């Protein structure tokens, strides 16, 4: 099998490069969620993206070991090095233990991944289980002379790291001091970061470990270096995450890992980052109070595969505007696709290029050409919009036989993961009518609509818009008529 050379955009160097595995099994590490709250729609993009990458490697016959971490300790509020831990804060707010919080939001996230047909990773290591190894890692950095101690903990001295910031294209002189707001007593450079966050005098953390630098908790960046090396080996091939990580988290992971390994080699060869999902032209973010999640879409009658289709309709390196109109379009497209593909079932197994080629050759029509086009699209930095266009072209092509279409749909879906082989139309069509709602749900909707009418009368457009967004999320479409507003479920 060769086909088209797989090419990926490497953030390290900012160019599209040939991907060549360095081992029989490619190590793939994806930064995972901090499990202190529900994951919103934007948070799901990194995992659908990593899943696409995994499927692409599989298509090329490359075996993968995938690790996705779960951050259940160490992530301070505001991504800073000091202050409260996100999980401890959530536990206090929800009157639950830290363990319960972590478990609850981890399970909710895994359920959303399953609904999105994201293949499970090989391992989901939890940061709290690796603290001893993180301490050993920091001790080694201390021995190598890369650290210094301040009252609030142990810091990594970025001035000792010759390539610091290459991934982020940091201009060292100019940018070292920017990007961070908090003041940390004794910190030498704004880019220096915590390896160990010591307990403040008089404050006892819930999650606390003893270390050579006193009681406390690890810094946020440490876990990914430690867990990836522990589960994938010291060097591995691909590391992924959201584009925010390119600027700080991954920069710091690289600095501490290369210092630790001390072998003059790049730690990880390929760094891939997905762009944002935007809502109202802004990044969907928990800190901005956005909590729209997959469960809300399902509640409003959209199928999770429609959201996957929406995500795949944009290239992973492009920003995507989330709107209900776009979701409606995705739902309608999914519906049409399933209607068209269902009669072709059962689809054969064509999850690798080799399998697809062999099956296509047997059909004697244009299937072989389409399989090559599928291969070209995925090899070109995971061009999923192109893949979707190929699916449509093949379905419309009068020269395609049923057997040929079967092969092309199976091949494309091995990469898209839209469940073209088994999703039923009944599953997709779970639209509700008002009579499906409980009386209190109807009452809540009508209350919101009444509130909106008042807001509009008072010309409070901001509030009216806010209510419309809430109604949107519930799948309620309001129409203003001369007789007042009416509503229906989408």
User: What, of ligand AMP, Zn ion, none, does residue 284 touch, CB below 5 to 8 Å by kind?
Assistant: ligand AMP
Q: Stretches 26-34, 205-213, 262-270, 469-477: which one binds ligand AMP (CB under 6 A)?
A: 26-34
Among 129, 186, 188, 105, which Cα is nearest to 153's? 186
Q: 117: buried, middle or exposed (CB in 10 Å: 19+, 13-18, 0-12)? A: middle
β-pairing verdict for 63-68 and 147-150:
unpaired
Site for ligand AMP in 131-150 (CB under 6 A): none
Cα gap 136→23, rounded to integer Å? 27
Among 337, 310, 322, 306, which Cα is nearest to 412's? 337
Q: How far is the CB of 36 from ligand AMP (least distance, A)?
A: 8
User: What, of Zn ion, ligand AMP, none, does residue 161 touch, CB below 5 to 8 Å by kind?
Assistant: none
> Which string of DSSP letters, residue by residue, matches 212-228?
TT-SEEE-TTHHHHHHH
CA atoms within 13 A on the CB side of 216: 27
Q: Stretches 30-38, 60-68, 328-336, 450-458: which one binds Zn ion (CB under 5 A)?
A: 30-38
Q: What is the DSSP letter of 12?
A: T
| Beta sheet of 268-274, edge-to-edge order | 63-68, 25-30, 236-242, 268-274
Q: How far is the CB of 71 from ligand AMP (least distance, A)?
A: 8
Which of 135, 224, 229, 449 is close enough to bind Zn ion by CB under 5 A?
Answer: 224
Site for ligand AMP in 33-72 (CB under 6 A): 33-34, 42-43, 45-46
Closest to ligand AMP by CB, 318 vs 424, is: 318
Number of chain residues interacting with Zn ion (CB under 5 A): 2
Asked if residues 128 and 208 have their Cβ atoms less than 8 Å apart, the reply is no
Q: What is the DSSP letter of 71?
A: B
Going residue by residue from 259 to 278, which x/- string records binding to ligand AMP, judged by CB under 6 A? -----------------xx-
Q: Does 283 help bind ligand AMP (rule: CB under 6 A)?
A: yes
Q: How far is the CB of 229 from ligand AMP (least distance, A)?
A: 20
Site for ligand AMP in 224-243 (CB under 6 A): 241-242
Q: Stretches 29-37, 152-160, 287-295, 434-442: which one binds Zn ion (CB under 5 A)?
A: 29-37
User: What, of Zn ion, ligand AMP, none, does residue 301 touch, CB below 5 to 8 Å by kind?
Assistant: none
Which of 17, 103, 244, 299 is close enough to bind ligand AMP by CB under 6 A?
Answer: 244
Cα gap 114→48, rounded to integer Å? 11
Largest CA distance in the chain: 77
Q: Which residues bind Zn ion (CB under 5 A)?
A: 31, 224
């Amino acid at each position: 099998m060769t086909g088209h050379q797989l090419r990926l955009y490497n953030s390290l160097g900012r160019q599209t490069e040939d991907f060549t595995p360095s081992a029989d099994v490619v190590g793939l590490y994806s930064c995972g969620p901090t499990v202190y709250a529900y994951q919103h729609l934007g948070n799901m993009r990194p995992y659908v993206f990593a899943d696409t990458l995994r499927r692409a490697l599989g298509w090329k016959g490359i075996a993968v070991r995938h690790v996705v971490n779960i951050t259940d300790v160490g992530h301070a509020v505001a991504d800073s090095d000091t202050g409260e831990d996100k999980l401890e804060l959530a536990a206090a707010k929800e009157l639950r233990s830290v363990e319960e919080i972590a478990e609850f939001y981890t399970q909710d996230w895994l359920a959303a991944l399953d609904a999105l047909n994201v293949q499970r990773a090989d391992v989901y290591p939890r940061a709290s289980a690796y603290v001893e190894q993180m301490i050993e890692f920091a001790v080694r950095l201390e021995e190598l002379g890369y650290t210094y101690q301040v009252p609030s903990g142990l810091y990594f001295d970025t001035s000792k790291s010759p390539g610091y910031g290459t991934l982020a294209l940091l201009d060292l002189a100019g940018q070292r001091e920017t990007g961070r707001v908090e003041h940390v007593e004794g910190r030498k450079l704004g880019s220096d970061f915590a390896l160990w966050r010591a307990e403040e005098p008089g404050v006892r953390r819930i999650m606390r470990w003893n270390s050579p630098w006193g009681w406390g908790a690890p810094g946020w960046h440490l876990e990914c270096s430690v867990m990836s090396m522990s589960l994938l080996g010291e060097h591995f091939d691909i590391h992924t995450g959201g584009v925010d990580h390119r600027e700080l988290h991954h920069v710091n992971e690289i600095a501490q890992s290369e210092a630790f390994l001390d072998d003059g080699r790049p730690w990880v060869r390929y760094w891939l980052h997905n762009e944002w999902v935007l809502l109202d032209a802004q990044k969907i973010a928990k800190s901005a109070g956005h909590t729209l999640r997959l469960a809300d879409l399902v509640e409003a009658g959209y199928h999770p595969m429609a959201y996957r289709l929406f995500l795949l309709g944009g290239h992973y390196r492009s920003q995507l505007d989330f709107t209900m109109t776009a979701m409606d379009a995705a739902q309608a497209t999914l519906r049409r696709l399933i209607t068209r593909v269902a009669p072709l079932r059962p689809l054969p197994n064509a999850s690798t290029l080799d399998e697809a080629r062999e099956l296509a050759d047997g059909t004697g029509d244009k299937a072989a050409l389409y399989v090559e086009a599928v291969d070209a699209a995925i090899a070109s930095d995971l061009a999923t919009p192109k893949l979707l266009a190929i699916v449509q072209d093949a379905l419309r092509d009068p020269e395609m036989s049923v057997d040929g279409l079967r092969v092309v749909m199976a091949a494309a879906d091995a990469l898209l993961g839209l469940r073209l082989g088994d999703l039923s139309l009944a599953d997709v069509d779970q639209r509700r009518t008002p009579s499906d709602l409980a009386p209190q749900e109807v009452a809540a909707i009508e209350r919101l609509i009444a509130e909106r009418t008042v807001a509009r009368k008072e010309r409070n457009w901001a509030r009216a818009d806010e209510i419309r967004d809430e109604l949107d999320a519930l799948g309620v479409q309001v129409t203003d008529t001369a007789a007042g507003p009416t509503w229906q479920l989408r």
